[in-house]
Amino acid sequence: MMLIKFHNWFRAFLRTPYFIWAYIRSKPVSLDVASSRLAICCECADLDLITRQCTHCWCFVRYKVQWEKEKCPLEKWQA
Q: What is the pLDDT of residues 44-62, one digit of tens each?
A: 999 988 888 888 888 889 9
Confidence of residue 1 (pLDDT cuts 50, 70, 90): very low
> b/e string for 32-65 if b means 16 or more Cβ within 10 A?
eebeebbebbeeeeebeeebebbeebbbebeebb
pTM, entire model: 0.69
Counting residues of the chain whose pLDDT is more than 90, the rounded percentage is 29
Which amino acid type is present at position 5? K
DSSP three-state, residue 67: strand
Confidence of residue 37 (pLDDT cuts 50, 70, 90): very high
pLDDT of residue 39: 95
